[in-house]
Structure 1
């Protein structure tokens, strides 16, 4: 018998139809600089060098981990793309880089156009929030690698910053204050532990209404990651920021030290903000040790800003005007040779 690619589980014609279906949606993200259309071998973006004196491109790539399993179990796929863009965009905005363009990789056991279209709708929304253009991607059918209901998602972003405006933490000094901007929830980290505790140990269902959370468990877990691009760019117009840290995998414990000079130690006051209910719920349900909580989850702080003390009041006022919830959560102290880079109090 003659064999075709479709017999093996790959539908080329379906992929072409899917591309046509998402084309108009993707174009809503196009900003100045985008050349051509999706569907080519490569995505084109023209960097207007007249706008910059010494531009540096900043890139990041990321995924959303096993939060995908929650989206698949709920059959709700229109927010996971926001998470993906957020994880990438938040990683480059901490260096002061304005996002320019984004590409995605979607791999499925079989192309389900309805699900794939929902995913792209989330990617589109994320790119609009991050003010970057979705200029290309790859949709791969991989029968035998993924189960028919499964998929995987990865993203890649490029932004630009003037070389003399790069934020890398080198300006952080003893006496600086640490401001935390609230997270929208769990974001997209720690879900392997979340799933282990809630579904394998405690046998919750995603439809269960959790009084402490005020909504069904699945809705809480799928809350999209907050994108901080507009907020940070707004601050950068008027304030010198010494350092920025995206509180992603590793929590405050691991991410703040990534930007600290060797001579500095971050002192974090854990009582300075109210931790959202989902974190208390998880800790109680899993009997998670305190330090493990702070190493795995963001605990309600999604972005950290380190600034000179003289700017704190004005920055907090600006953040509140931008409808952000923000707190002074600590300060920078001198670090003794044997001391850890971050200390909780």
Structure 2
């Protein structure tokens, strides 16, 4: 018998078969627009480069040469984070510049509390349909914040995921790597009873507690995002979009002076959950609630929802974005450094004997 003819795929052109050619753009992914956007992003990222950056944007991996003269005994410190539902406010207001800085500064603070100098940053931006101008605006914020922190933006990912995100929305996350000499790492291990707590002010909610804040302001109070509210002394959207500040410049002055025993970045979980992360066994933190002025934003949020004090303290930073632990005999020196830098601060408590937790008094 003659064997059956082998079935072969029809490789004729769409015109020959009478069908319409389907492209990636038909599926919602515009490669051409993506390429144009990446070219603009490349220019923004290059502004953050220094002599340690050994690669260009667009490679499969970013290359960074470590300065061993400056860090002879290096330990790399890394962190990753996102902006969270603060992005919802950004979408509503059409403000996309500041969220990039929010992300960079958050990550910088997370490694600065261990005495680390930021080296390089990578971002991840995912959206349903790529809007080049929005993407470029977000990355310009990333670039400016990286440059301000002495950190190179050496790469990232811009993903188009049609059907995954609603129109006009995106998600933003970042990854940072820093370095500290092994003998200069700050962990909180030397903290002891009698040490003092110095609180540095936040610039608002920073990047935490937005799900609750949005519920209280927009659903409970039914404010509009551009509405001026007397109790906030600002428009709701403006109050929520205040930028997450970087504490690196002032922290560097303090740790260079050799007076810092520990630092806590007050983010999600508030003082209640973040300060115990640096406490050694057998110590507790006593925080005096009357030692600083809680900003109007937090006061109004609490009033709107009749939110319990404990809930406020473990959801929001309550006006304290960074806590620095110094020995009692170094407080005078710390105050002098802070005053010279025109940095506002409050003495908010001390370290006592006890279990690892915060005692509010």
The reply to whether TM is greater than 0.5 is: yes
Q: CA deviation at 1:340?
A: 5.9
Q: CA deviation at 1:93?
A: 0.3
Alignment of 1:210-289 (within 5 A): 210-289=229-308
Alignment of 1:165-184 (within 5 A): 165-184=184-203
Query: Whole-Å Cα distance in 1 between the matches of residues 189 and 353 of structure 2?
Result: 15
Q: Residue 299 of structure 2 aligns to a residue in which SS?
A: helix
Aligned to 1:121: 140
Greater Rg by CA:
2
1:82 to 89, 101, 107: 101
- Cα RMSD, aligned residues only: 1.1
Q: CA deviation at 1:121?
A: 1.2
Q: Residue 50 of structure 1 aligns to a residue in which SS?
A: coil
- Tell me whether 48-57 or 202-211 shows the greater mean CA deviation: 48-57
Aligned to 1:342: 358
1:94 to 92, 107, 113: 113
Q: Residue 69 of structure 1 aligns to a residue in which SS?
A: helix
Q: Residue 224 of structure 2 aligns to a residue in which SS?
A: coil
> Are the aligned partners of 1:129 and 1:227 in contact in 2 as well (CA < 8 Å)?
no
> Structure 2: where are the runs of 5+ without partners?
1-19
Q: CA deviation at 1:50?
A: 2.5
Aligned to 2:15: none
Q: Residue 240 of structure 1 aligns to a residue in which SS?
A: coil
Q: CA deviation at 1:23?
A: 2.3
- Please give the per-residue CA displacement for 1:108-165, whole angstroms capped at 9, x wherever unaligned: 0111011101101111122123221111000000001111211000000000001111
Q: 1:31 to 1:64 in 2, by over 3 A?
A: same
> Are the aligned partners of 2:276 and 2:356 in contact in 1 as well (CA < 8 Å)?
no
Q: Residue 91 of structure 1 aligns to a residue in which SS?
A: helix
Q: Residue 337 of structure 2 aligns to a residue in which SS?
A: helix
> Are the aligned partners of 1:55 and 1:162 in contact in 2 as well (CA < 8 Å)?
yes
> Are the aligned partners of 1:239 and 1:311 in contact in 2 as well (CA < 8 Å)?
no
Aligned to 1:297: 316
- Tell me whether 276-285 or 122-131 shows the greater mean CA deviation: 122-131
Give yes or no for the alignment of 1:38 onto 2:53: no
> Are the aligned partners of 1:81 and 1:119 in contact in 2 as well (CA < 8 Å)?
yes
Alignment of 1:39-188 (within 5 A): 39-188=58-207
- Tell me whether 69-78 or 38-47 shows the greater mean CA deviation: 38-47
> Structure 1: where are the runs of 5+ without partners?
none
- Tell me whether 153-162 or 16-25 shows the greater mean CA deviation: 16-25
Q: Residue 35 of structure 1 aligns to a residue in which SS?
A: coil
Query: Whole-Å Cα distance in 1 between the matches of residues 27 and 288 of structure 2?
Result: 57
Q: Scaled by the length of structure 1, what TM-score is found?
A: 0.97
- Tell me whether 225-234 or 297-306 shows the greater mean CA deviation: 225-234
> Are the aligned partners of 2:287 and 2:349 in contact in 1 as well (CA < 8 Å)?
yes
Number of residues paired by the alignment? 342
- Tell me whether 252-261 or 10-19 shows the greater mean CA deviation: 10-19
> Are the aligned partners of 1:54 and 1:163 in contact in 2 as well (CA < 8 Å)?
yes
- Please give the per-residue CA displacement for 1:216-256, whole angstroms capped at 9, x wherever unaligned: 11011000101011111122221331000000000000000
Query: Whole-Å Cα distance in 1 between the matches of residues 315 and 291 of structure 2?
Result: 19
Query: Whole-Å Cα distance in 2 between the matches of residues 169 and 236 of structure 1?
Result: 12
- Please give the per-residue CA displacement for 1:80-128, whole angstroms capped at 9, x wherever unaligned: 0011111111100000000000000000011101110110111112212
Q: CA deviation at 1:29?
A: 1.3
> Are the aligned partners of 1:127 and 1:134 in contact in 2 as well (CA < 8 Å)?
yes
Query: Whole-Å Cα distance in 2 between the matches of residues 295 and 253 of structure 1?
Result: 5
1:320 to 313, 321, 339: 339
Aligned to 2:349: 330
Query: Whole-Å Cα distance in 2 between the matches of residues 238 and 32 of structure 1?
Result: 28
